[in-house]
Amino acid sequence: MKLHHELSGPPGAPVVVLGNSLGTTTALWDAQLPALHERFRVLRYDHRGHGGSPSAPGSYRLDDLADDVLELLDALELPRVSYCGASMGAMVGMWLAGHAPERIERLVLCCTVSTFTAARPWHDRAARVRAAGTAAIAREVVGRWFTPEFAGRFPELVGAFEADLSAVDDDGYAGCCDALAALDLRSVLTAIEAPTAVISGAFDEATPARCGRAVAEAIPGATFHVVPAAHLVNVEAAEEVSAIMLKHL
């Protein structure tokens, strides 16, 4: 699948790939770009069915999402990159680092887990989206991405995320939900060799900090960081997350 992507920053610099969370687009990483551009060439992409990327009907597997990224790297002739992912994007990063270690230099995992305790909520959400569309869930879902204080201070930003989620293709979103329902990366974590930093939000209810800590403890040599934010840590705690990323990369 040919993914929509944006490549920016100084030519010839080391490449960092930024992977988005479910329901978001490349705009997720806008706050990190100025700092990253000082040292890196940055590759942002949209998951299948998101933003400018085409969709496909049916259920997806995490392997499908990861293979999309490998296909993109091959097309751009990028044999080895560092990868920073948020939520579902971080899950793709774990898969890549575990199954294609020769492609991943360093790894940053934001607001993520290696498995979910129950698949049913993801199947239910997929069914709801297939029946009523992503717009039907946008406000409810985005409401969990930020603390009430942050949402109250930046209503236009929150509204932009709601609009982006509402625009995600219904099949693409539901297919990704099916991939998350089947998620189990626990056996992959111990095989990750890339130096890894895991960042969790202190107020994240979607992927709680205890789950991020478990991921960090399972990856050899990984560091663990908690920032004052809900789910989208790189948006709500942009400066703190950018600093951690730059120090690690």
Phi-psi region of 9 (alpha: psi -120 to 50; beta: other; left: phi over 0): left
Closest CA to 25 of 235, 237, 246, 240: 235
pLDDT tens-digit map of 158-217: 999 999 999 999 999 999 999 999 999 999 999 999 999 999 999 999 999 999 999 999
- Which pLDDT does position 88 carry in this prediction? 99
State the DSSP H helix or E strand holding residue 41, giving kind and residue range, or none if neither.
Answer: strand 41-45
> CB–CB of 83/19 below 8 Å?
yes
Instruction: With beta carbons less than 8 A apart as the criterion, state whether 99 and 33 touch.
Output: no
Per cent of the chain over pLDDT 70 is 100
Tell which residue, 196, 199, 249, 240, has the closest CA to residue 218.
Answer: 196
CB atoms within 10 A of CB 156: 6
Quick one: pLDDT at residue 207? Answer: 97
State pLDDT tens for residues 33-46: 999 999 999 999 99
Residues 195, 175: Cα–Cα separation, whole Å? 30
pLDDT digits (tens, 9 = 90+) for 34-85: 999 999 999 999 999 999 999 999 999 999 999 999 999 999 999 999 999 9
Q: What pLDDT score does 201 carry? A: 99
What distance in Å separates the CA atoms of residue 164 and residue 122, rounded to the nearest whole number?
Answer: 20
What ranges do the domains of the chain cover? 5-248
pTM, whole model, 2 decimals?
A: 0.97
Average pLDDT across the chain, whole number: 98
In this prediction, residue 105 has a pLDDT band, given cuts at 50, 70 and 90, of: very high
CATH of 5-248, one of 3.40.190.10, 3.40.50.1820, 3.30.470.20, 3.30.1330.10: 3.40.50.1820
Distance CA 230, CA 239 (A): 15
